[in-house]
Amino acid sequence: MQRARFDPLRLAPDVRELLAAMAGSGEPPLESLPLEARRAAYRQIGARLGGEPLPVREVRELLADGPAGKIPLRLYLPDQTAGVLCGVTVYLHGGGWTLGDLDSHDKICRRLVRASGCGVVSVDYRLAPEHPAPAGPEDVLAAIRWLARHAKSLGLDPERIAVAGDSAGGSLSAVACQRLRGEVPLRAQVLFYPSTDLSPAAQDFPSRCENGAVPPLTLELMHALSSPFMDGFDTTDTRLSPLREPDLRDLPPALIVTAECDVLRDDGRYYRDALRSAGVPVEFVEIPGMVHGFVEMAGVLPAAVDAIERAGAYLGERIGR
C-alpha cells in the first residue's frame, strides 16, 4: 500500500506547534532507541506534557493474583462519604504492549477520578518483548477478576465496574469486555483511539495510508512496538484483534474517542460500526486535527482535557452513585 502524502494543515494549530517543537528538540525518534531508553522516553511524555498531577483523596499500591505471579495495581479513590462503596474504572495504559506503566499514566488516572467521581484502578500488566502475547491480556483479565472479588474490602462496588484505556490499553479494554462477558458485570467501556486489529487485514485500513507518517505514532513506530508483542502468535486471535470477534452481542455500552490524524483512527471507527451492528450502544467522538496519544498531553492540549472530562462524565453516569 502506497502511503499518502499528509497535509500538515489538517493538524490542529496547537498540535502543529507541539510537533514542531518535538521535531526541533534534537531528541531521537522513539523507534530509533533501544528498549529501556524508549521506555524512559515514553514515560517523559506524560511527565512533560500531562500537566500537574491532580489531587485525589487517596492512592494505594496493591497486588493482584496473576497467572505468572503478582500484578501491581494502583488504586485512586475519590472524595466521597465514608462507608459508601464507589464505582470503579479499571484503567489500562497504552504504549504498544511494550511501553508504559503505572507512572506513565498516573496523571490521566487522576483526571479520570476527578471527572467521574469514581475510583480508578490502574493495571501494570506484563509487557513485551520480555512477555509476548498473550501475557498482557491474560494479566488484565486476572486483575479484573481479582478486583471483582476484593472490591468491597477496598471500598468499591463490585456491581459498578467499568474499563477504560488508550491505544493498546483500549485494545485490552475491548478484550476484557469480550472475555469477561457473563462473568464480571462490566457496566461500560471507554476506548481512547484503540488498536482493534493487528491482523494482516488491517494493513488496508485507509488511516494506515493517510496517517502513517504522522507522529508521534508512525507506521514504523507502530510496527516496532507491536511486533515483539505479536511474536509467533496468531494475530487474528481476539486477544490481539478484538475487531475479529464474530459475536459482539451483550457487551457493555461504549464511548470510543478517536483522533482524525491518527494511524489507528479506523480501528476505532470500525469497532464502533461492529458494536453498533451487534446492538451495543456506542457514543463516538472523533477529535478533528488531533494525533495519536493526545490524551497523555492534557497539560498542553485543551482537547485532551475535554476528552477526559467527557469520558469521566460518561463513566459517572454509568458507575457513579
List, by residue number, the catalytic residues: 167, 262, 292
Cα–Cα distance list, 71 to 52, 123, 231 (Å): 27, 7, 22
For the chain, the maximum distance between any two Cα atoms, rounded to a whole number of angstroms, is 59
Q: How far apart are CA 35 and CA 99, in angstroms?
A: 9
Residue 127 and residue 150: Cα distance in Å, rounded?
A: 25
C-alpha to C-alpha distance for 284 and 264, rounded to whole angstroms: 15
CB 195 within 8 A of CB 173: no
The one-letter amino acid at 143? A
> Alpha carbon of 278 to those of 200, 211, 247, 282: distances in Å?
24, 29, 7, 11
User: What is the torsional sign of CA 199, 39, 128, 136?
Assistant: negative
Query: Kind of pairing, strands 119-123 and 86-92?
Result: parallel
Using a 10 angstrom Cβ sphere, with 0-12 exposed, 13-18 middle and 19 or more buried, the burial of residue 86 is buried
User: How far apart, in Å, do the first and last CA atoms of the chain sit?
Assistant: 49
CA atoms of 291 and 265, how far apart (whole Å): 9
Residue type, 29: P
DSSP string computed for 17-85: HHHHHHHTT-PPPGGGS-HHHHHHHHHHHHHHHS-SPPP-SEEEEEEEEETTEEEEEEEEE-S--TT--
E strands, 212-252, are: none
